[in-house]
C-alpha cells in the first residue's frame, strides 16, 4: 500500500541537508567528513544506435534498460522495509497540472484522494515499487520536471532518477555501492563516477 508523508526528512536514513549540500561544492554547510560516493548509470552507444534505429526506438530501449536496472537494484537492497520517493532537492507538487501522462501514478493519487498538488514523499513497499517502476524511471523525462530520489528506508543509499534517462547511485557506504554495481545487469551501461570518487 503506497502512502504519502509530508515530512520527507523524517523518513530518510541520512541528513537531507548534507546530502543536498554534496551537489554544491561551494556550500559551506557541507560536512566534508561525510563522503558521498556516486556513479551515474547511462545507456551506452547511443551515437551508434542512431545509425540503426529511430529516436523513439532508442528512447524505448533506454527506458527498458533503466527499468530492468532499477528493479535489480531494488531487489538487491530490499529488506522488506519501505522505500522513500521524493523530489531530489526540495519537495514540490507531484504534478504541476492535470493531464494524461503518468496514468498509473495519476490513478494512484485519485484513488487515494491525494491532490496532485501534494508536496512531500511517497512511501512504497517493494511490490508496489515494481508495479510503478516504468513510470517512476520516466517521471522526470516525460514531465520535464524534477529528478526523483528513491531512498532505502534504513540504508544510506539513493537511486536518483534523472530527466536525462539515467540512474545515479549514491551512498555514504562505498562498499555497499560497489557491491550493488558488481552485477552483470549493469555491464551494458556506462558507469560515470561523480567527481572521480567511487
Question: What is the rounded distance in angstroms from the CA atom of residue 36 to the CA atom of residue 22?
Answer: 7
What pTM was computed for the model? 0.90
* 8 Å CB contact between 12 and 152: no
Number of domains in the chain: 1
* Phi, psi angles (nearest 5°) of residue 50: -60, -25
Stated as kind and residue range, the H or E segment containing 122 is strand 121-124
* pLDDT on residue 99: 85
Structural domain for 81, as ranges: 3-196
Parallel/antiparallel/unpaired status of strands 148-152 and 157-161? antiparallel
**Which spans in the chain are helix H?**
16-22, 46-49, 55-77, 103-111, 126-131, 133-143, 174-181
* 8 Å CB contact between 158 and 37: no
Residue 151's SS3 state is strand
pLDDT, tens only, 55-71 = 788 788 889 999 999 99
Say whether pLDDT at 84 is over 60: yes
pLDDT, tens only, 165-186 = 999 999 999 999 999 998 887 8
Amino acid at each position: 500500500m503506497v502512502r504519502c508523508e509530508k515530512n520527507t526528512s523524517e523518513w530518510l536514513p541520512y541528513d537531507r541537508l548534507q546530502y543536498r549540500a554534496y551537489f554544491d561544492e561551494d556550500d559551506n554547510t557541507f560536512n566534508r567528513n561525510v563522503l558521498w560516493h556516486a556513479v551515474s548509470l547511462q545507456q551506452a552507444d547511443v551515437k551508434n544506435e542512431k545509425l540503426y534505429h529511430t529516436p523513439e526506438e532508442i528512447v524505448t530501449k533506454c527506458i527498458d534498460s533503466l527499468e530492468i536496472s532499477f528493479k535489480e537494484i531494488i531487489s538487491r537492497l530490499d529488506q522488506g522495509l519501505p522505500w522513500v520517493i521524493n523530489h531530489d532537492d526540495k519537495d514540490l507538487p507531484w504534478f504541476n497540472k492535470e493531464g494524461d501522462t503518468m496514468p498509473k501514478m495519476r490513478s494512484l493519487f485519485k484513488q487515494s484522494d491525494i491532490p496532485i498538488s501534494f508536496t512531500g514523499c511517497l512511501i512504497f513497499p517493494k511490490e508496489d515499487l515494481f508495479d510503478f517502476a516504468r513510470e517512476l524511471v520516466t517521471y522526470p523525462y516525460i514531465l520535464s520536471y524534477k529528478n526523483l530520489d528513491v531512498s532505502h528506508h534504513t540504508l544510506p543509499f539513493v537511486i536518483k532518477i534523472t530527466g536525462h534517462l539515467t540512474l545515479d547511485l549514491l551512498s555514504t557506504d562505498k562498499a555497499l555501492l560497489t557491491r550493488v554495481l558488481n552485477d552483470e545487469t549493469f555491464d551494458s551501461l556506462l558507469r560515470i563516477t561523480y567527481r572521480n570518487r567511487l
